[in-house]
Amino acid sequence: MNQLDALKQFTTVVADTGDFRQMAHFKPHDATTNPSLILKAVQKPDYRFLLTDTVAQHHGCALDEIIDRLLVRFGCEILSIIPGRVSTEVDARLSFDASAMVARAERLVALYQAEGIHVDRVLIKVAATWEGIRAAEKLGQRGIHTNLTLLFSFCQAVACGQAKVQLISPFVGRIYDWYKKSAGAAWDEAANAGANDPGVKSVRQIFNYYKHFGIATEIMGASFRNLGQITALAGCDLLTISPELLAQLAAIDAPLVRALDAGAARSLDLPAVSYDEAGFRYALNEDAMATEKLAEGIRAFAADAVKLEQLLLAAQESPQ
């Protein structure tokens, strides 16, 4: 048994890509996308037709609606391949406007439903800002499931659990990146690998807390830089993995053991934590890594959303 198949015994494997033609080979259960992945995909010849077709079919519609229709088009293609759910992201420029996120999420779900996709097969991604968490709470009450992305801190995870959101995506690799850059020449790769990786430690803390207190929110480790981060989180509810790392896992026949265990977490002695808005904002502010990576992530996704808009505008102006 290769390590990808072994991992599937403990954890739901999710493909992290907009390149849906790569997915069938790895047989993931779910899939995630984001503006950066969709932007990358539509610039490939194999996927360019999705952009041009969407523009042609909805000529005259507002640009934000055309983008949502393009995202849903990718999502539907992905759902024709996988048995589970696809994550589709709300425009990152709305990350501090709860009502706007709710409205955009409801439109995305309506577009999926118009294509015959059941609401339970869609996860709407919003940034784990205070406003994003409030939007997710309201959406959950309306039967719309969410994936809280750009999650870097324990306080974000606790607040998401309090709001009973469906799923969170702690960003393992970006946490690792920050600590490695911060340490500079003093960084010891071997000492900070595997279970000692700062991103892995963050997810393990969240996993143990959720399982100890019976919090139903699913945990999906994301943003991996190497195989050691993935294998150190075997047993996490879900892991979303790039096609490149999925291929590496499939090529390794070495044994893989469970690293995270819900039963063991329940026996830990952990204090209960809760946050109101002021407490959340202060706790996030106290975590320099999380503050910086959250802001950076929103800026990067917003920038790629703008680039995607520019591609759509160019397609509108070009002769059909």
Helix (H) or strand (E) segment spanning residue 296: helix 288-317
Where do we find the tokens 């977490």? 265
227-248 residue pLDDT tens: 999 999 999 999 999 999 999 9
Do the Cβ atoms of 80 and 27 come closer than 8 Å?
no
- What CATH number did the domain enclosing 265 receive? 3.20.20.70
Q: Indicate the number of domains in the chain.
A: 1
At position 211, the amino acid (one-letter code) is K
Give φ, ψ of 188 to 5 degrees: -110, 105
Q: Provide the residue range defining the domain that includes 251.
A: 3-317
101-135 residue pLDDT tens: 999 999 999 999 999 999 999 999 999 999 999 99
Nearest by Cα to 193 from 160, 219, 228: 228
Q: What is the pLDDT of residue 320?
A: 54
Handedness of CA 115, 120, 122, 127 (dihedral sign): positive
The pLDDT averaged over each successive group of 10 residues in the chain (320 residues) is 96 94 91 91 93 93 95 96 97 98 98 98 98 98 98 98 98 98 98 98 98 98 98 98 96 96 97 98 98 98 95 82
DSSP 170-190: EBHHHHHHHHHHHHGGG--TT
Q: How far apart are CA 154 and CA 181, in angstroms?
A: 21
Catalytic residues: 125
Q: How far apart are CA 103 and CA 18, in angstroms?
A: 24
Q: How many CA atoms are closer than 13 Å to the CA of 301, on its beta-carbon side?
A: 22
Q: What is the pLDDT of residue 261?
A: 97
What would the two tokens of residue 312 be? 């759509």
Q: How far apart are CA 293 and CA 298, in angstroms?
A: 9
